[in-house]
Amino acid sequence: QKPKKLIYNRDTVARASILGKRGYKPKGIVLHNDAGSGTAMNYHDQLVNASEQRLEAGIAHSYISGNRVWQALPESYIAWHTANAYGNRNYYGIEICQSMSASDKDFLANEQSAFQEAARLLKKWNLPVNSDTVILHNQLSSTQCPHRSMKLHAGYYSSQMAPDSVKKKTKDYFISQIKAYYNGEIPKGSTDKGSSKPSSSGSTNATNTDWKQNQYGTWYKAESATFTNGNQPIITRVDSPFTSAQFGYNFQPGGYVKYDEVCLQDGHVWVGYNWNG
């Protein structure tokens, strides 16, 4: 059995020069879930001529769905994909697309294409496949990314920060799959248990009908719980779940707040609450 043939589009984003070049090869790869419904080429159409402000809201190196790979930025460029200066500079970012819309079967297939591409790149850079070269977004910043992958491979779906055990289980799965491709094998992968779409990245009793999408492409649902921050400050935004929205304040490590809404937008999971600042 041979790996699938990946089809590449390497149209670089028009304003790539504002991100700058790294000056050395990447130290590894960060695998993301896009928290959206677009295909790789949908992202191409949205981002290839995007404004600087839009790129500041987040841009990865590659976007993958089906057997399509859109490489938005060359390997030598920095990307703004982790909300972490070290992560942005040192790691190549791959967005596994359609994490909010694809069936389990289709999303698992998108993952496999991303694992295959990650293996190709790591081998090209003469890097091993291990916990230093395969990174989760939520290892670098306070985010639920990769929310769909954690649900499928670690049974975790909550708007709270994932515990280390969940991160490890998800990451170990990623590494095992990438390592198989790296060694010229076809990994077994997860078995699709049906064609269901994501039930939630929120509470465990949520159903797909809880989620709605507004005219701005934001997925949202009502949820009442308490969010407790991890060990890094988080920039809050006012009125809308976009990184380009008005700055609110720095949510401090260890801080907590009661929230009443969860949103998925700009590649992040957001919680909504009333703030009198």
Do 241 and 120 lie in one domain? The reply is no
155 lies in which domain range? 7-182
Mean pLDDT of the chain: 88
Q: What is the pTM of this model?
A: 0.74
Q: What is the mean pLDDT of residues 38-56?
A: 94
Domain count, the chain: 2
Q: Are 131 and 258 within one domain?
A: no
Evaluate whether residue 196 is within a structural domain. Answer: no
- The model's pLDDT over 164-205, given as tens digits with 9 standing for 90+, comes to 999 999 999 999 999 999 999 999 875 444 434 444 333 323
Q: Are residues 143 and 62 part of one domain?
A: yes
Residue 234: its pLDDT value, please? 82
Whether residue 212 is contained in a domain is answered as: yes
Residue 202 forms part of a structural domain: no
Q: Are 72 and 60 in contact (CB under 8 A)?
A: yes
200 assigned to some structural domain: no
| Residue 29 confidence class, pLDDT cut points 50, 70, 90 | very high
**55 lies in the same domain as 166:** yes
User: What integer pLDDT is reported at residue 11 of this predicted model?
Assistant: 98
Whether 135 and 71 share a structural domain = yes
In a domain? residue 245? yes
In this prediction, residue 208 carries a pLDDT of 45
Name the domain boundary from 148, 182, 216.
Answer: 182
Asked whether residue 232 carries a pLDDT value surpassing 50, the answer given is yes
Both 87 and 221 in one domain: the answer is no
CA–CA gap between residue 246 and residue 52 (Å, rounded): 16
Question: Residue 233: is the preceding peptide bond cis (ω within 30°)?
Answer: no
pLDDT above 80: residue 126? yes
Q: What is the pLDDT of residue 191?
A: 44
Q: Is residue 255 part of a domain?
A: yes
